[in-house]
């Protein structure tokens, strides 16, 4: 996907569940160990729930023990954008879908090799396609 998606707040509210809207459009988070993809092991592609952009392959998913789906790296660097997040008195790096701006979660520098990164992603921001 190349063109950025822009929708009104009302359009996003109509498309998403209230929980998805809170996470994706209001930068919320789901409670640890509650997301449907936390312990998900099927092979396929995790896509943005807002626009369908392919974000993470199942081969990059691993159990970080944090309670959220964790990935070593996205399918391509260009699909993920980052911003500094200083909310809640912390300094973190927020990750979002570059195609529609949906909040996905955060990336940390404490992941496994070979990338050393841990993309900690909310299940509510993802859709899954078997493949």
> Which of 123, 103, 121, 101 lies closest to 111, judged by CA?
121
Domain CATH number, residue 94: 2.170.150.20
Q: Does residue 12 sit in helix, strand or coil? A: helix
Q: What is the pLDDT of residues 70-95, one digit of tens each?
A: 999 999 999 999 988 777 677 789 99
Residue 64 in any domain: the answer is yes
Residue 96 in any domain: the answer is yes
Three state DSSP letters for 54-96:
EEEEHHHEECCCCCCCEECCCCCHHHEEEEEECHHHCCEEEEE
Number of domains present in the structure of the chain: 1
Q: Which residues pair with 35 in a beta bridge?
A: none
Q: Does residue 15 sit in helix, strand or coil? A: helix
Q: Catalytic site residues? A: 120
Residue 3 in any domain: the answer is no
Find the domain containing 88 and state its range. Answer: 9-130
Q: What is the pLDDT of residues 109-120, one digit of tens each?
A: 999 998 999 999
What is the reported pTM? 0.93
Residue 26 in any domain: the answer is yes
């Amino acid at each position: 996907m190349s063109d950025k998606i822009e929708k009104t707040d009302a359009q996003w509210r109509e498309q998403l569940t209230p929980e998805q809207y809170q996470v994706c459009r209001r930068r919320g988070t789901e409670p640890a160990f509650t997301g449907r993809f936390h312990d998900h092991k099927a092979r396929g592609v995790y896509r943005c729930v807002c626009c369908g952009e392919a974000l993470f392959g199942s081969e990059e998913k691993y159990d970080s023990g944090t309670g959220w789906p964790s990935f070593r790296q996205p399918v391509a660097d260009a699909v993920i954008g980052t911003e500094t997040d200083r909310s809640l008195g912390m300094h973190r790096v927020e990750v979002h879908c570059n195609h529609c701006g949906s909040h996905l979660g955060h990336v940390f520098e404490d992941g496994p090799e070979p990338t050393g990164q841990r993309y900690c992603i909310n299940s509510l921001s993802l859709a899954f396609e078997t493949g």
